[in-house]
């Protein structure tokens, strides 16, 4: 894409950037710049909150502690 195209046809350039990673801009047949698309940064995952998780587990187990996970991990460690 040449500089004039970029100025006159910006909507087309945006459309191209949706599907392509970059557009090389030329002047007099020589590359002068590279236009790259910007993506929104991904939101970070929330930190694991052990207390909230324990409260959630308590609602599933109706107040009883779930031991099968600990038993499974113990067996797995002993086997390894």
- Residue 56 is encoded by which pair of tokens? 């959630």
Question: CB of 32 within 8 A of CB of 26?
Answer: yes
Model confidence, pTM: 0.44
| pLDDT level of residue 76 (50, 70, 90 thresholds) | confident
Q: Where are the domains of the chain?
A: 3-36, 50-79
Residue 21's pLDDT band (boundaries 50, 70, 90)?
confident
Taking the C-alpha atoms of residue 57 and residue 17, their distance in angstroms, rounded to an integer, is 46
Q: How far apart are CA 8 and CA 30, in angstroms?
A: 19
Cα→Cα distances 20→29, 38, 41, Å: 21, 12, 18
pLDDT number for residue 64: 67
In angstroms, how far is CA 3 from the centroid of its own chain?
Answer: 32
């Amino acid at each position: 894409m040449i500089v004039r195209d970029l100025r006159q046809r910006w909507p087309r350039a945006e459309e191209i950037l949706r599907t392509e990673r970059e557009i090389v801009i030329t002047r007099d047949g020589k590359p002068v710049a590279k236009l790259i698309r910007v993506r929104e940064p991904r939101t970070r995952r929330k930190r694991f909150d052990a207390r909230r998780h324990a409260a959630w587990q308590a609602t599933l187990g109706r107040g009883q502690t779930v031991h099968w996970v600990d038993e499974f991990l113990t067996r797995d460690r002993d086997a390894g």
